[in-house]
Structure 1
Amino acid sequence: MSEEINEGAARSRASVLRSRAESYIALGRHDAAIADLTESIALVPDNARAWRLRGESHRLIERYEAAISDFDEALRMEPDSAYALGSRGQAYAALDRHEEAMADFEHALTLSPDSLWILEARADALADLDRLDEALAEHAKIIELDGGLAHSWVSRGDLYQRLGLYTEAIADYTSALEIDPDLVRALSRRGEALRMIDQYEDALADLNRAVELAPDHDRALGSRGAVLSELGDNEAALKDLDRAIELDAEYVWAYRVRGEIFQEEDRHEEAIADFTHALRLEFGD
Protein backbone atom coordinates (compact mmCIF):
# COMPACT_ATOMS: atom_id res chain seq x y z
CA MET A 1 0.00 0.00 0.00
CA SER A 2 1.23 3.49 -0.81
CA GLU A 3 -0.38 5.20 2.21
CA GLU A 4 0.44 4.47 5.83
CA ILE A 5 -2.49 3.31 7.94
CA ASN A 6 -3.00 3.25 11.67
CA GLU A 7 -2.37 0.12 13.74
CA GLY A 8 -6.01 -0.89 13.98
CA ALA A 9 -6.51 -0.61 10.23
CA ALA A 10 -3.24 -2.46 9.61
CA ARG A 11 -4.36 -5.39 11.77
CA SER A 12 -7.77 -5.44 10.11
CA ARG A 13 -6.23 -5.46 6.61
CA ALA A 14 -3.70 -8.12 7.60
CA SER A 15 -6.51 -10.32 8.92
CA VAL A 16 -8.46 -10.12 5.65
CA LEU A 17 -5.28 -10.83 3.67
CA ARG A 18 -4.61 -13.94 5.77
CA SER A 19 -8.16 -15.15 5.22
CA ARG A 20 -7.98 -14.55 1.48
CA ALA A 21 -4.64 -16.37 1.39
CA GLU A 22 -6.26 -19.46 2.93
CA SER A 23 -8.75 -19.59 0.08
CA TYR A 24 -5.94 -19.13 -2.44
CA ILE A 25 -4.14 -22.07 -0.79
CA ALA A 26 -7.29 -24.21 -0.97
CA LEU A 27 -7.41 -23.48 -4.72
CA GLY A 28 -3.70 -24.24 -5.19
CA ARG A 29 -2.93 -20.61 -6.07
CA HIS A 30 0.15 -20.46 -3.89
CA ASP A 31 1.91 -17.49 -5.48
CA ALA A 32 -1.18 -15.37 -4.84
CA ALA A 33 -1.32 -16.67 -1.27
CA ILE A 34 2.34 -15.82 -0.73
CA ALA A 35 1.79 -12.28 -2.03
CA ASP A 36 -1.10 -11.75 0.41
CA LEU A 37 0.79 -13.27 3.31
CA THR A 38 3.90 -11.25 2.59
CA GLU A 39 1.86 -8.04 2.80
CA SER A 40 0.08 -9.34 5.90
CA ILE A 41 3.42 -10.04 7.59
CA ALA A 42 4.72 -6.59 6.65
CA LEU A 43 1.66 -5.07 8.32
CA VAL A 44 1.63 -7.36 11.37
CA PRO A 45 4.94 -9.20 11.79
CA ASP A 46 4.00 -10.91 15.05
CA ASN A 47 1.24 -13.17 13.69
CA ALA A 48 2.47 -16.78 13.76
CA ARG A 49 -0.40 -18.00 11.59
CA ALA A 50 0.70 -15.81 8.68
CA TRP A 51 4.23 -17.23 8.86
CA ARG A 52 2.87 -20.80 9.06
CA LEU A 53 0.59 -20.31 6.09
CA ARG A 54 3.30 -18.72 3.98
CA GLY A 55 5.69 -21.51 4.93
CA GLU A 56 3.14 -24.08 3.85
CA SER A 57 2.61 -22.32 0.52
CA HIS A 58 6.35 -22.25 -0.07
CA ARG A 59 6.56 -25.96 0.80
CA LEU A 60 3.76 -26.93 -1.54
CA ILE A 61 5.51 -25.29 -4.50
CA GLU A 62 8.83 -26.87 -3.48
CA ARG A 63 10.54 -23.73 -2.18
CA TYR A 64 11.78 -25.69 0.77
CA GLU A 65 14.44 -23.36 2.15
CA ALA A 66 11.97 -20.46 2.15
CA ALA A 67 9.42 -22.72 3.84
CA ILE A 68 11.85 -23.69 6.58
CA SER A 69 12.72 -20.04 7.20
CA ASP A 70 9.03 -19.18 7.61
CA PHE A 71 8.36 -22.14 9.88
CA ASP A 72 11.38 -21.15 11.99
CA GLU A 73 9.80 -17.74 12.52
CA ALA A 74 6.39 -19.23 13.32
CA LEU A 75 7.97 -21.59 15.84
CA ARG A 76 9.90 -18.75 17.45
CA MET A 77 6.49 -17.29 18.33
CA GLU A 78 4.69 -20.59 18.97
CA PRO A 79 7.29 -23.26 19.87
CA ASP A 80 4.66 -25.94 20.40
CA SER A 81 2.78 -25.68 17.11
CA ALA A 82 2.39 -29.27 15.89
CA TYR A 83 1.32 -27.95 12.48
CA ALA A 84 4.48 -25.87 12.00
CA LEU A 85 6.71 -28.64 13.32
CA GLY A 86 5.11 -31.27 11.09
CA SER A 87 5.26 -29.07 8.01
CA ARG A 88 8.85 -28.02 8.67
CA GLY A 89 9.68 -31.70 9.06
CA GLN A 90 8.19 -32.36 5.62
CA ALA A 91 10.33 -29.57 4.15
CA TYR A 92 13.45 -31.00 5.80
CA ALA A 93 12.58 -34.46 4.45
CA ALA A 94 12.17 -33.08 0.92
CA LEU A 95 15.76 -31.79 1.20
CA ASP A 96 16.97 -35.22 2.45
CA ARG A 97 17.64 -33.71 5.88
CA HIS A 98 16.01 -36.72 7.48
CA GLU A 99 17.43 -36.48 10.99
CA GLU A 100 16.13 -32.91 11.34
CA ALA A 101 12.82 -34.05 9.90
CA MET A 102 12.60 -36.86 12.43
CA ALA A 103 13.30 -34.47 15.31
CA ASP A 104 10.42 -32.24 14.18
CA PHE A 105 8.04 -35.18 13.72
CA GLU A 106 8.91 -36.59 17.16
CA HIS A 107 8.26 -33.21 18.80
CA ALA A 108 5.03 -32.73 16.86
CA LEU A 109 3.76 -36.15 17.88
CA THR A 110 4.33 -35.43 21.57
CA LEU A 111 1.90 -32.55 21.06
CA SER A 112 -0.56 -34.32 18.74
CA PRO A 113 0.02 -38.09 19.08
CA ASP A 114 -2.79 -39.20 16.77
CA SER A 115 -2.19 -36.75 13.91
CA LEU A 116 -2.40 -39.03 10.88
CA TRP A 117 -0.55 -36.74 8.46
CA ILE A 118 2.38 -36.34 10.84
CA LEU A 119 2.49 -40.09 11.50
CA GLU A 120 2.55 -40.72 7.76
CA ALA A 121 5.29 -38.13 7.21
CA ARG A 122 7.29 -39.81 9.97
CA ALA A 123 6.75 -43.21 8.35
CA ASP A 124 8.07 -41.83 5.05
CA ALA A 125 11.14 -40.44 6.80
CA LEU A 126 11.76 -43.78 8.53
CA ALA A 127 11.59 -45.51 5.15
CA ASP A 128 14.07 -43.03 3.68
CA LEU A 129 16.40 -43.82 6.58
CA ASP A 130 16.01 -47.56 5.78
CA ARG A 131 14.31 -48.13 9.13
CA LEU A 132 11.73 -50.17 7.27
CA ASP A 133 10.32 -52.27 10.11
CA GLU A 134 9.63 -49.09 12.04
CA ALA A 135 8.04 -47.52 8.98
CA LEU A 136 5.70 -50.49 8.56
CA ALA A 137 4.82 -50.34 12.26
CA GLU A 138 3.95 -46.66 11.84
CA HIS A 139 1.67 -47.47 8.90
CA ALA A 140 0.00 -50.18 10.95
CA LYS A 141 -0.68 -47.61 13.68
CA ILE A 142 -2.18 -45.21 11.14
CA ILE A 143 -4.52 -47.91 9.81
CA GLU A 144 -5.45 -48.92 13.34
CA LEU A 145 -6.36 -45.31 14.15
CA ASP A 146 -8.51 -44.92 11.03
CA GLY A 147 -8.72 -47.84 8.63
CA GLY A 148 -11.56 -46.12 6.79
CA LEU A 149 -9.21 -43.79 4.93
CA ALA A 150 -8.27 -45.17 1.52
CA HIS A 151 -5.13 -43.04 1.50
CA SER A 152 -3.75 -44.86 4.55
CA TRP A 153 -3.96 -48.23 2.80
CA VAL A 154 -2.37 -46.84 -0.37
CA SER A 155 0.53 -45.38 1.58
CA ARG A 156 1.35 -48.72 3.20
CA GLY A 157 0.87 -50.44 -0.14
CA ASP A 158 3.46 -48.09 -1.64
CA LEU A 159 5.97 -49.09 1.04
CA TYR A 160 5.26 -52.79 0.46
CA GLN A 161 5.79 -52.23 -3.26
CA ARG A 162 9.07 -50.43 -2.54
CA LEU A 163 10.15 -53.51 -0.58
CA GLY A 164 9.19 -55.83 -3.44
CA LEU A 165 6.34 -57.33 -1.39
CA TYR A 166 3.88 -57.17 -4.25
CA THR A 167 1.24 -59.53 -2.87
CA GLU A 168 1.01 -57.47 0.32
CA ALA A 169 0.93 -54.26 -1.72
CA ILE A 170 -1.90 -55.57 -3.89
CA ALA A 171 -3.89 -56.49 -0.77
CA ASP A 172 -3.54 -52.96 0.61
CA TYR A 173 -4.45 -51.31 -2.70
CA THR A 174 -7.48 -53.60 -2.85
CA SER A 175 -8.51 -52.45 0.64
CA ALA A 176 -8.19 -48.85 -0.52
CA LEU A 177 -10.34 -49.55 -3.58
CA GLU A 178 -13.02 -51.17 -1.46
CA ILE A 179 -13.31 -47.80 0.27
CA ASP A 180 -12.95 -45.68 -2.88
CA PRO A 181 -13.37 -47.71 -6.09
CA ASP A 182 -12.31 -44.82 -8.33
CA LEU A 183 -9.11 -43.85 -6.50
CA VAL A 184 -6.74 -43.41 -9.43
CA ARG A 185 -3.55 -43.72 -7.40
CA ALA A 186 -4.67 -47.09 -5.98
CA LEU A 187 -5.70 -48.38 -9.41
CA SER A 188 -2.43 -47.24 -10.99
CA ARG A 189 -0.25 -48.64 -8.22
CA ARG A 190 -2.14 -51.95 -8.05
CA GLY A 191 -1.80 -52.25 -11.81
CA GLU A 192 1.94 -51.75 -11.50
CA ALA A 193 2.20 -54.33 -8.69
CA LEU A 194 0.23 -56.83 -10.76
CA ARG A 195 2.60 -56.18 -13.66
CA MET A 196 5.53 -57.00 -11.40
CA ILE A 197 4.11 -60.49 -10.71
CA ASP A 198 3.28 -61.04 -14.41
CA GLN A 199 -0.49 -60.77 -14.01
CA TYR A 200 -0.72 -58.67 -17.14
CA GLU A 201 -4.43 -58.94 -17.94
CA ASP A 202 -5.43 -57.91 -14.41
CA ALA A 203 -2.82 -55.15 -14.50
CA LEU A 204 -4.22 -53.88 -17.80
CA ALA A 205 -7.76 -53.76 -16.39
CA ASP A 206 -6.61 -51.58 -13.48
CA LEU A 207 -4.50 -49.31 -15.65
CA ASN A 208 -7.24 -48.92 -18.26
CA ARG A 209 -9.60 -47.77 -15.51
CA ALA A 210 -6.98 -45.40 -14.08
CA VAL A 211 -6.42 -43.79 -17.50
CA GLU A 212 -10.16 -43.62 -18.13
CA LEU A 213 -10.55 -41.65 -14.89
CA ALA A 214 -7.39 -39.57 -15.36
CA PRO A 215 -6.34 -39.47 -19.04
CA ASP A 216 -3.19 -37.46 -18.28
CA HIS A 217 -1.91 -39.61 -15.43
CA ASP A 218 1.68 -40.05 -16.60
CA ARG A 219 2.53 -42.97 -14.28
CA ALA A 220 -0.57 -44.94 -15.24
CA LEU A 221 0.21 -44.37 -18.92
CA GLY A 222 3.83 -45.45 -18.45
CA SER A 223 2.82 -48.60 -16.59
CA ARG A 224 0.14 -49.41 -19.15
CA GLY A 225 2.71 -48.98 -21.90
CA ALA A 226 4.94 -51.55 -20.22
CA VAL A 227 2.02 -53.98 -19.81
CA LEU A 228 0.92 -53.58 -23.43
CA SER A 229 4.47 -54.33 -24.54
CA GLU A 230 4.48 -57.51 -22.45
CA LEU A 231 1.21 -58.47 -24.13
CA GLY A 232 2.77 -57.96 -27.57
CA ASP A 233 1.13 -54.69 -28.57
CA ASN A 234 4.15 -52.46 -29.07
CA GLU A 235 2.27 -49.96 -31.20
CA ALA A 236 -0.18 -49.16 -28.40
CA ALA A 237 2.63 -49.34 -25.85
CA LEU A 238 4.63 -46.68 -27.68
CA LYS A 239 1.60 -44.38 -27.84
CA ASP A 240 1.23 -44.59 -24.06
CA LEU A 241 4.92 -44.08 -23.42
CA ASP A 242 5.11 -41.17 -25.86
CA ARG A 243 2.24 -39.49 -24.02
CA ALA A 244 3.75 -40.22 -20.60
CA ILE A 245 7.02 -38.60 -21.65
CA GLU A 246 5.15 -35.67 -23.17
CA LEU A 247 3.48 -35.14 -19.80
CA ASP A 248 6.72 -35.56 -17.83
CA ALA A 249 9.90 -34.99 -19.79
CA GLU A 250 11.95 -36.31 -16.83
CA TYR A 251 10.16 -39.67 -16.53
CA VAL A 252 13.32 -41.81 -16.52
CA TRP A 253 11.62 -45.19 -16.38
CA ALA A 254 9.43 -44.40 -19.40
CA TYR A 255 12.52 -43.60 -21.49
CA ARG A 256 14.06 -46.92 -20.45
CA VAL A 257 10.96 -48.94 -21.32
CA ARG A 258 10.50 -47.14 -24.62
CA GLY A 259 14.17 -47.69 -25.42
CA GLU A 260 13.75 -51.42 -24.84
CA ILE A 261 10.77 -51.52 -27.21
CA PHE A 262 12.75 -49.63 -29.86
CA GLN A 263 15.60 -52.09 -29.38
CA GLU A 264 13.23 -55.05 -29.76
CA GLU A 265 12.01 -53.54 -33.03
CA ASP A 266 15.59 -52.99 -34.31
CA ARG A 267 15.12 -49.21 -34.08
CA HIS A 268 18.53 -48.86 -32.50
CA GLU A 269 19.18 -45.16 -33.09
CA GLU A 270 15.95 -44.33 -31.27
CA ALA A 271 16.79 -46.85 -28.55
CA ILE A 272 20.22 -45.27 -28.03
CA ALA A 273 18.63 -41.82 -27.83
CA ASP A 274 16.21 -42.96 -25.12
CA PHE A 275 18.83 -44.83 -23.10
CA THR A 276 21.15 -41.82 -23.37
CA HIS A 277 18.39 -39.54 -22.16
CA ALA A 278 17.64 -41.86 -19.24
CA LEU A 279 21.32 -41.92 -18.22
CA ARG A 280 21.52 -38.13 -18.44
CA LEU A 281 18.44 -37.67 -16.26
CA GLU A 282 19.34 -40.27 -13.65
CA PHE A 283 23.12 -39.98 -13.47
CA GLY A 284 23.99 -36.68 -15.16
CA ASP A 285 25.86 -38.36 -18.04
Structure 2
Amino acid sequence: MDEGIMDHSGLSDAAAQSRASVLRSRAESYIALSRHDAAIADLTEAIALVPENARAWRLRGESHRVIERYQAALDDFDEALKLEPDSAYALGSRGQTYAGMGRLEEAMADFEHALTLTPDSLWILEAKADALVDLDRLDEALAEHTKIISLNTDLAYSWLARGELYQRMNLYTEAIDDYTKALEADPDHVRALSRRGEALRMIDRYDEALADLSRALELDPGNDRALGSRGAVLSELGDNEAALRDLDAAIELDPEYVWAFRVRGEIYQELDRHEEAIADFTQALHLEFGD
Protein backbone atom coordinates (compact mmCIF):
# COMPACT_ATOMS: atom_id res chain seq x y z
CA MET A 1 0.00 0.00 0.00
CA ASP A 2 1.31 3.50 -0.89
CA GLU A 3 2.47 5.59 2.04
CA GLY A 4 -0.25 7.96 3.19
CA ILE A 5 -3.12 5.97 1.64
CA MET A 6 -5.38 4.39 4.22
CA ASP A 7 -6.96 0.98 3.84
CA HIS A 8 -10.69 1.48 3.54
CA SER A 9 -11.42 -1.85 1.88
CA GLY A 10 -14.00 -2.64 4.57
CA LEU A 11 -16.25 0.27 3.64
CA SER A 12 -19.74 -0.35 2.35
CA ASP A 13 -20.31 0.45 -1.30
CA ALA A 14 -22.17 3.64 -0.39
CA ALA A 15 -19.40 4.76 1.97
CA ALA A 16 -16.72 3.95 -0.61
CA GLN A 17 -18.58 5.99 -3.22
CA SER A 18 -18.93 8.89 -0.79
CA ARG A 19 -15.28 8.86 0.26
CA ALA A 20 -14.08 8.59 -3.33
CA SER A 21 -16.26 11.54 -4.31
CA VAL A 22 -14.71 13.77 -1.63
CA LEU A 23 -11.21 12.61 -2.58
CA ARG A 24 -11.83 13.49 -6.23
CA SER A 25 -13.11 16.92 -5.25
CA ARG A 26 -10.15 17.59 -2.96
CA ALA A 27 -7.82 16.45 -5.72
CA GLU A 28 -9.27 19.07 -8.06
CA SER A 29 -8.39 21.78 -5.55
CA TYR A 30 -4.89 20.34 -5.17
CA ILE A 31 -4.57 20.48 -8.97
CA ALA A 32 -5.72 24.10 -9.01
CA LEU A 33 -2.91 24.84 -6.54
CA SER A 34 -0.39 22.83 -8.62
CA ARG A 35 0.02 20.35 -5.75
CA HIS A 36 0.04 17.42 -8.11
CA ASP A 37 1.62 14.80 -5.88
CA ALA A 38 -1.12 15.39 -3.29
CA ALA A 39 -3.74 15.18 -6.02
CA ILE A 40 -2.26 11.92 -7.30
CA ALA A 41 -2.35 10.43 -3.80
CA ASP A 42 -6.04 11.32 -3.38
CA LEU A 43 -6.94 10.06 -6.83
CA THR A 44 -5.04 6.82 -6.36
CA GLU A 45 -7.12 6.10 -3.28
CA ALA A 46 -10.31 7.18 -5.05
CA ILE A 47 -9.54 4.80 -7.93
CA ALA A 48 -8.88 1.96 -5.51
CA LEU A 49 -12.29 2.59 -3.96
CA VAL A 50 -14.23 3.20 -7.19
CA PRO A 51 -12.18 2.04 -10.20
CA GLU A 52 -14.99 2.56 -12.69
CA ASN A 53 -15.00 6.36 -12.31
CA ALA A 54 -13.51 7.82 -15.51
CA ARG A 55 -13.11 11.29 -14.00
CA ALA A 56 -10.64 10.01 -11.42
CA TRP A 57 -8.48 8.41 -14.11
CA ARG A 58 -8.64 11.60 -16.22
CA LEU A 59 -7.67 13.85 -13.33
CA ARG A 60 -4.80 11.63 -12.25
CA GLY A 61 -3.61 11.41 -15.83
CA GLU A 62 -3.63 15.19 -16.08
CA SER A 63 -1.56 15.55 -12.91
CA HIS A 64 0.93 13.00 -14.18
CA ARG A 65 1.10 14.86 -17.52
CA VAL A 66 1.70 18.27 -15.98
CA ILE A 67 4.67 16.97 -13.98
CA GLU A 68 5.92 15.13 -17.09
CA ARG A 69 5.33 11.58 -15.89
CA TYR A 70 4.18 10.83 -19.39
CA GLN A 71 3.94 7.05 -19.33
CA ALA A 72 1.87 7.12 -16.13
CA ALA A 73 -0.35 9.79 -17.71
CA LEU A 74 -0.77 7.71 -20.85
CA ASP A 75 -1.78 4.67 -18.82
CA ASP A 76 -4.38 6.71 -16.93
CA PHE A 77 -5.89 8.28 -20.05
CA ASP A 78 -6.07 4.84 -21.66
CA GLU A 79 -8.09 3.61 -18.66
CA ALA A 80 -10.33 6.68 -18.79
CA LEU A 81 -11.01 6.10 -22.48
CA LYS A 82 -11.91 2.47 -21.87
CA LEU A 83 -14.67 3.78 -19.61
CA GLU A 84 -15.62 6.80 -21.76
CA PRO A 85 -14.37 6.24 -25.35
CA ASP A 86 -15.73 9.56 -26.58
CA SER A 87 -14.38 11.83 -23.86
CA ALA A 88 -12.95 14.86 -25.66
CA TYR A 89 -11.16 15.86 -22.45
CA ALA A 90 -9.35 12.53 -22.16
CA LEU A 91 -8.57 12.42 -25.89
CA GLY A 92 -7.21 15.97 -25.88
CA SER A 93 -5.13 15.35 -22.77
CA ARG A 94 -3.82 12.05 -24.12
CA GLY A 95 -2.91 13.91 -27.29
CA GLN A 96 -0.94 16.41 -25.22
CA THR A 97 0.78 13.49 -23.51
CA TYR A 98 1.73 11.91 -26.82
CA ALA A 99 3.05 15.31 -27.95
CA GLY A 100 5.14 15.58 -24.80
CA MET A 101 6.62 12.17 -25.62
CA GLY A 102 7.39 13.22 -29.19
CA ARG A 103 4.76 10.85 -30.60
CA LEU A 104 3.25 13.54 -32.78
CA GLU A 105 1.24 11.46 -35.24
CA GLU A 106 -0.56 9.72 -32.36
CA ALA A 107 -1.13 13.13 -30.78
CA MET A 108 -2.68 14.40 -34.01
CA ALA A 109 -5.00 11.39 -34.20
CA ASP A 110 -6.29 12.10 -30.69
CA PHE A 111 -6.73 15.82 -31.39
CA GLU A 112 -8.63 15.10 -34.60
CA HIS A 113 -10.93 12.64 -32.80
CA ALA A 114 -11.49 15.07 -29.93
CA LEU A 115 -12.36 17.87 -32.36
CA THR A 116 -15.03 15.75 -34.03
CA LEU A 117 -16.70 15.72 -30.61
CA THR A 118 -16.04 19.35 -29.58
CA PRO A 119 -15.08 21.27 -32.75
CA ASP A 120 -14.71 24.63 -31.02
CA SER A 121 -12.60 23.56 -28.04
CA LEU A 122 -9.93 26.26 -27.89
CA TRP A 123 -7.41 24.32 -25.81
CA ILE A 124 -7.55 21.30 -28.11
CA LEU A 125 -7.21 23.51 -31.18
CA GLU A 126 -4.19 25.17 -29.55
CA ALA A 127 -2.64 21.81 -28.73
CA LYS A 128 -3.22 20.66 -32.32
CA ALA A 129 -1.59 23.85 -33.63
CA ASP A 130 1.44 23.26 -31.39
CA ALA A 131 1.78 19.70 -32.72
CA LEU A 132 1.54 20.97 -36.30
CA VAL A 133 4.38 23.40 -35.57
CA ASP A 134 6.48 20.55 -34.17
CA LEU A 135 5.73 18.61 -37.38
CA ASP A 136 6.89 21.68 -39.35
CA ARG A 137 3.45 21.97 -40.94
CA LEU A 138 3.44 25.72 -40.35
CA ASP A 139 0.76 26.77 -42.84
CA GLU A 140 -1.68 24.29 -41.28
CA ALA A 141 -0.75 25.52 -37.80
CA LEU A 142 -1.41 29.08 -38.95
CA ALA A 143 -4.88 28.06 -40.16
CA GLU A 144 -5.63 26.56 -36.73
CA HIS A 145 -4.54 29.74 -34.96
CA THR A 146 -6.72 31.78 -37.29
CA LYS A 147 -9.69 29.56 -36.44
CA ILE A 148 -8.98 29.99 -32.72
CA ILE A 149 -9.00 33.78 -33.13
CA SER A 150 -12.25 33.65 -35.10
CA LEU A 151 -13.91 31.85 -32.20
CA ASN A 152 -12.92 34.51 -29.66
CA THR A 153 -11.23 37.73 -30.74
CA ASP A 154 -10.92 39.01 -27.16
CA LEU A 155 -8.26 36.56 -25.94
CA ALA A 156 -4.80 38.12 -25.80
CA TYR A 157 -3.16 34.70 -25.72
CA SER A 158 -4.67 33.68 -29.06
CA TRP A 159 -3.30 36.75 -30.84
CA LEU A 160 0.05 36.23 -29.11
CA ALA A 161 0.26 32.59 -30.20
CA ARG A 162 -0.40 33.42 -33.84
CA GLY A 163 2.03 36.32 -33.65
CA GLU A 164 4.75 34.02 -32.39
CA LEU A 165 4.11 31.66 -35.29
CA TYR A 166 4.29 34.55 -37.76
CA GLN A 167 7.58 35.56 -36.14
CA ARG A 168 8.91 32.03 -36.47
CA MET A 169 8.04 32.27 -40.17
CA ASN A 170 9.95 35.60 -40.38
CA LEU A 171 6.71 37.46 -41.11
CA TYR A 172 7.52 40.29 -38.74
CA THR A 173 4.93 42.84 -39.86
CA GLU A 174 2.13 40.28 -39.45
CA ALA A 175 3.57 39.30 -36.06
CA ILE A 176 3.64 42.91 -34.90
CA ASP A 177 0.00 43.35 -35.94
CA ASP A 178 -1.01 40.32 -33.87
CA TYR A 179 1.01 41.39 -30.83
CA THR A 180 -0.69 44.78 -31.09
CA LYS A 181 -4.09 43.04 -31.04
CA ALA A 182 -2.97 41.07 -27.97
CA LEU A 183 -1.99 44.31 -26.27
CA GLU A 184 -5.33 45.90 -27.11
CA ALA A 185 -6.93 43.04 -25.19
CA ASP A 186 -4.37 43.20 -22.35
CA PRO A 187 -2.16 46.33 -22.37
CA ASP A 188 0.19 44.96 -19.71
CA HIS A 189 0.79 41.55 -21.28
CA VAL A 190 4.53 41.18 -20.68
CA ARG A 191 5.17 38.47 -23.25
CA ALA A 192 3.30 40.36 -25.96
CA LEU A 193 5.32 43.51 -25.20
CA SER A 194 8.58 41.56 -25.19
CA ARG A 195 7.81 39.66 -28.39
CA ARG A 196 6.62 42.80 -30.20
CA GLY A 197 9.84 44.49 -29.12
CA GLU A 198 11.85 41.61 -30.59
CA ALA A 199 9.89 41.73 -33.85
CA LEU A 200 10.36 45.50 -34.10
CA ARG A 201 14.09 44.99 -33.56
CA MET A 202 14.18 42.51 -36.44
CA ILE A 203 12.90 45.17 -38.86
CA ASP A 204 15.20 47.89 -37.45
CA ARG A 205 12.48 49.89 -35.69
CA TYR A 206 14.76 50.30 -32.70
CA ASP A 207 13.11 53.19 -30.85
CA GLU A 208 9.75 51.42 -30.83
CA ALA A 209 11.44 48.17 -29.82
CA LEU A 210 13.18 49.93 -26.94
CA ALA A 211 9.87 51.35 -25.69
CA ASP A 212 8.18 47.92 -25.72
CA LEU A 213 11.06 46.10 -24.07
CA SER A 214 11.50 48.78 -21.40
CA ARG A 215 7.77 48.59 -20.59
CA ALA A 216 7.99 44.79 -20.39
CA LEU A 217 10.88 45.15 -17.92
CA GLU A 218 8.98 47.70 -15.82
CA LEU A 219 6.30 45.05 -15.41
CA ASP A 220 8.71 42.12 -15.02
CA PRO A 221 12.26 43.24 -14.10
CA GLY A 222 13.51 39.65 -14.04
CA ASN A 223 12.51 38.83 -17.61
CA ASP A 224 15.80 37.53 -18.99
CA ARG A 225 14.62 37.40 -22.61
CA ALA A 226 13.45 41.02 -22.54
CA LEU A 227 16.78 42.03 -21.00
CA GLY A 228 18.70 40.22 -23.72
CA SER A 229 16.61 41.75 -26.49
CA ARG A 230 16.85 45.25 -25.00
CA GLY A 231 20.59 44.79 -24.75
CA ALA A 232 20.74 44.06 -28.48
CA VAL A 233 18.56 47.11 -29.24
CA LEU A 234 20.69 49.41 -27.07
CA SER A 235 23.77 48.21 -28.89
CA GLU A 236 22.17 49.01 -32.24
CA LEU A 237 21.37 52.48 -30.88
CA GLY A 238 25.03 52.95 -29.95
CA ASP A 239 24.80 52.61 -26.17
CA ASN A 240 27.08 49.63 -25.64
CA GLU A 241 27.62 50.21 -21.93
CA ALA A 242 23.87 50.08 -21.24
CA ALA A 243 23.63 47.09 -23.56
CA LEU A 244 26.29 45.25 -21.57
CA ARG A 245 24.44 45.95 -18.31
CA ASP A 246 21.29 44.36 -19.73
CA LEU A 247 23.14 41.37 -21.16
CA ASP A 248 25.07 40.85 -17.91
CA ALA A 249 21.76 40.80 -16.04
CA ALA A 250 20.17 38.43 -18.56
CA ILE A 251 23.08 35.99 -18.30
CA GLU A 252 23.04 36.18 -14.51
CA LEU A 253 19.36 35.20 -14.59
CA ASP A 254 19.95 32.44 -17.16
CA PRO A 255 23.55 31.22 -17.36
CA GLU A 256 22.59 29.05 -20.38
CA TYR A 257 21.22 31.92 -22.48
CA VAL A 258 23.23 31.18 -25.64
CA TRP A 259 22.02 34.13 -27.71
CA ALA A 260 22.93 36.60 -24.95
CA PHE A 261 26.51 35.26 -24.87
CA ARG A 262 26.74 35.67 -28.64
CA VAL A 263 25.44 39.24 -28.59
CA ARG A 264 27.63 40.22 -25.65
CA GLY A 265 30.62 38.68 -27.41
CA GLU A 266 29.93 40.80 -30.48
CA ILE A 267 29.76 43.95 -28.34
CA TYR A 268 33.02 43.07 -26.60
CA GLN A 269 34.55 42.52 -30.05
CA GLU A 270 33.32 45.93 -31.21
CA LEU A 271 34.91 47.46 -28.10
CA ASP A 272 38.23 45.66 -28.80
CA ARG A 273 37.78 43.61 -25.61
CA HIS A 274 38.78 40.48 -27.45
CA GLU A 275 39.64 38.22 -24.50
CA GLU A 276 36.14 38.74 -23.12
CA ALA A 277 34.68 38.27 -26.60
CA ILE A 278 36.51 34.96 -27.00
CA ALA A 279 35.27 33.81 -23.59
CA ASP A 280 31.64 34.57 -24.53
CA PHE A 281 31.86 32.95 -27.97
CA THR A 282 33.50 29.92 -26.38
CA GLN A 283 30.70 29.64 -23.82
CA ALA A 284 28.09 29.99 -26.58
CA LEU A 285 29.72 27.14 -28.50
CA HIS A 286 29.89 25.03 -25.36
CA LEU A 287 26.22 25.57 -24.52
CA GLU A 288 24.89 25.06 -28.04
CA PHE A 289 27.22 22.38 -29.40
CA GLY A 290 29.02 20.89 -26.39
CA ASP A 291 32.43 22.20 -27.46
Query: TM-score, normalising length from structure 2?
Result: 0.89
Secondary structure of the 1:216 match is coil
Which residue of structure 2 lines up, in the alignment, with residue 177 of structure 1? 183
Unaligned stretches of 5+ residues in structure 1: none
Q: Tell me how far apart the structure 1 counterparts of residues 84 and 97 of structure 2 sit (CA, whole Å).
A: 18
1:51–1:199: structure 2 CA closer, same or farther, 3 Å change rule? same
1:214–1:272: structure 2 CA closer, same or farther, 3 Å change rule? same
1:251–1:75: structure 2 CA closer, same or farther, 3 Å change rule? farther
1:133–1:8: structure 2 CA closer, same or farther, 3 Å change rule? same
Q: Tell me how far apart the structure 2 counterparts of residues 13 and 243 of structure 1 sit (CA, whole Å).
A: 52
Secondary structure of the 2:27 match is helix
1:240 to 220, 243, 246: 246
Give the 5 Å matches for 1:118-197: 118-197=124-203
Secondary structure of the 2:192 match is helix
2:114 to 108, 130, 133: 108
Q: Are residues 1:40 and 2:46 paired? A: yes
Q: Structure 1 residues 105-114 or 65-74, which shifts more?
A: 65-74
Q: Structure 1 residues 86-95 or 230-239, which shifts more?
A: 230-239
Q: 1:2: how far off? A: 4.3
Q: 1:31: how far off? A: 2.8
Q: 1:51: how far off? A: 1.8
Letter in 2 for 1:214: D
1:270–1:8: structure 2 CA closer, same or farther, 3 Å change rule? farther
1:2–1:70: structure 2 CA closer, same or farther, 3 Å change rule? closer
Q: Tell me how far apart the structure 2 counterparts of residues 37 and 269 of structure 1 sit (CA, whole Å).
A: 57
Which residue of structure 2 lines up, in the alignment, with residue 253 of structure 1? 259
Q: 1:109: how far off? A: 0.4
Q: Tell me how far apart the structure 1 counterparts of residues 71 and 255 of structure 2 sit (CA, whole Å).
A: 25
Unaligned stretches of 5+ residues in structure 2: none
Secondary structure of the 2:221 match is coil
Q: 1:9: how far off? A: 3.1
Q: Cα RMSD (Å) of the superposition?
A: 2.0
Which residue of structure 1 lines up, in the alignment, with residue 227 of structure 2? 221
Report % sequence identity: 80
1:281 to 258, 264, 287: 287
1:246–1:35: structure 2 CA closer, same or farther, 3 Å change rule? farther
Letter in 2 for 1:27: L
1:89–1:202: structure 2 CA closer, same or farther, 3 Å change rule? same
Q: 1:3: how far off? A: 4.5
Q: Structure 1 residues 169-178 or 89-98, which shifts more?
A: 89-98
1:80 to 72, 79, 86: 86
1:114–1:261: structure 2 CA closer, same or farther, 3 Å change rule? same
Which residue of structure 1 lines up, in the alignment, with residue 214 of structure 2? 208
Q: Tell me how far apart the structure 2 counterparts of residues 268 and 13 of structure 1 sit (CA, whole Å).
A: 68
Q: Structure 1 residues 207-216 or 193-202, which shifts more?
A: 207-216
Count of matched residue pairs: 285
Q: 1:18: how far off? A: 1.7
1:58–1:266: structure 2 CA closer, same or farther, 3 Å change rule? farther
1:18 to 7, 17, 24: 24
Q: Structure 1 residues 266-275 or 218-227, which shifts more?
A: 266-275
Q: 1:264: how far off? A: 3.0
Secondary structure of the 1:170 match is helix
Letter in 1 for 2:30: Y
Q: Tell me how far apart the structure 2 counterparts of residues 31 and 248 of structure 1 sit (CA, whole Å).
A: 28
Deviations 1:221-275 (A, max 9, x none): 2222222222233333233333333333333222322332333334444433433
Secondary structure of the 1:186 match is helix
Letter in 1 for 2:249: R
